[in-house]
Structure 1
C-alpha cells in the first residue's frame, strides 16, 4: 500500500509518501481499499505537532486522516456481516491517508446510494462533528436561533443543514463573498460576509436578543464576542481554534500562538451561572471508542441522507501525491466544502 507518513512536526515538506505492506485485519476488523480520503483541518494541526490526541494515541511518525471511502478487500475472522467487495465508507482515528485502511467493523458503513466515493469520504467527520455539537451538546429547540461561524466550510455547512432539520433559524458567517451563496444554499437564513461588513454589528441586527447557540471553531479571534452575543439562556459550543494557526507557510508562529493563548478567554463558573450561559467543547477524535454515540449519530445522519434532507458538501479532489497542495489550500481559508484525496 501507499500511505502518507509524517516523521516529525513541521511544514508541507513533512508529508512523505511511502510504500508499506498491506494491513492484515484483526478478528473484528475490516480492510478497505480506499478510493477517496477526506481531508480535515485537524490533519494540518496534526502535521504541525499541535494535536493533543495524536500525541496521546500515536506519536511520531504518524499518518493523518479520519475518514475514507472504498471497497472492502479483507475481513477479520469474527466479521460475518460484511463481504469482500462491499462499497463502504468509514472513520478511523488517524491512519486515513492510505490506499488501505484497517478499522474496527463498527466504524464502517454502507456507501449511501446518493453519494459517490469522494462525497462519502468527505461526509462522516464533518457531519459527526456537527451532529455531536448540535444534538449531543446544544440540544436546540425548534425556533432557536443559531450563529454558525465558517458556514461555507465542511462542519459549518453540515451545521446549517442539521440546524434546518432541527427547525432552527440559522445565521451563517463567511469570510469571503464567493462563499455567500454556498452558505445560503445550505440553509442559512442570513449570511454575514465579514469581508464586507462588520461581523458583530450584522450579528446583532440579525438577532437583537442574542443567539440561543453559537458554534465556533475560530478560537481567540471570535470566542469572547461569541459568548457576549449569547441569548440568556444560551450555549457556546467550541470545537476548534483555527485563527490561532497560520494561513500560509504551514508552520505555527510560536510568538503569535503564545500571545493568542494568553488572550483566549477563561470562563468563570460563577459568571457563567449568573449570566445563565453555558460553554461546551469537545474533540471528535476522542469519541470513536464510544460505539453507541457513533452508531446512533450515523444511523440518524444516513436516514436523513436517504430522505434527501442532507446533501454532501461540495468536494474538491486532489491526487494523493499532491497532499501538500491540499493542506496548503485548506489552511488558506479560501476553500468551500470538503477537500478529498484520490489515490
Structure 2
C-alpha cells in the first residue's frame, strides 16, 4: 500500500495549496492534463469574467480572459516540453481599462502523493508597475526634470517590486523584473557549503503554545536567524517549519574556504543570538527556552530552479544537503556538527 492511500486526497491538495490561499497573486493548480483543480480568491478578483473555473481546461481560461491563440498554443507547448512557462507581459482589457500581468507556471512532481503531480502557476498583477513606468518615461520624454517627482515614482516602483519579491523566489523575481524577455535560470553544478538547523522538540512546543504565541516565537526566531544569514552572505534557501536551510557559494562565491568560514561564523553567531533571546522567549511561554541543532557540510551540489509541490523554488540538491541534515539530527543540543571536508577548509 502506498503512503498516499493513508491520507485524504482533497485534504492533501488543500494543505499543499494553503500558502497560495492568502497570496497577493492569483494562483491556480491543475491536473497533469491542465484541468483546473483549485484556485485562490484573487483569480476571480483579477478576472471577474471567469466565474467558476474548477474542472475547466486552463487554456480555455486563458482564451476567455483574452490571450491570443498563438500565445495559448505556445503556453501548452512549453509546459508540455519544458515543464516551465514564464510569460513576462500579458496585456488584457478589463472594463475598458488595460491591465498587465505576468504568468508563471510549472509542472510539479511528488513521488509520495501522485495526485499532486500537475501544473501550478500564478498571475502577478503588474498594472501599477507598468503605469508607474509609463508615467516616469513620459516625464523623461517631455524633458520634465523635476527630481523629486522622478524619485517618488522610482520609490513607489521599488516598493511594489519588494512586496512581490516576498511571494516569489529570488531568481524568478529577477527573471520578471530584470530580464523582461528572459526565462528561468539554468541549473549549475557548484561547490557549496550547506547549513541546516532546527529547534529541538519543536513539535512539543507547537502542541503546547497558543497559536498566537507560537507565531510570535517562531517568527522572531526566523527573523533573527535570517538577519544573521544575510549579514554573513548566506543564501536563504527555505524555511521548513522551524528548520532553516542556507547555503554559501551561490550566486556569488569568494572561494570554498571563505564560504566555509562565513558559514561557520554564521552558525556561531546564531547560537549566541538564541542564547540572548531565550529569556524573552521564556516570557512568551517557552518554559525551557529554545535549543537548536546545526549541521554543516561542503561538496558539489546542483543549484537552480526546481518545481516542487505547487511552487517553483530556486534551491539546492545533492548529497551535501542530505549530509548536513544527518549531521544536524546527530548534533547535541545548542551545538554545531560539521563534516571533515568543512573542518579541513576552516583549519586551512
TM-score range, shorter chain: under 0.3
Q: Which TM-score applies when normalising by structure 2?
A: 0.27
Greater percentage in helix: 2
Q: Which TM-score applies when normalising by structure 1?
A: 0.28
Q: Which has the higher contact order (CA 8 A, sep 6+)?
A: 1
Quick check: which has more Rg, 1 or 2?
2
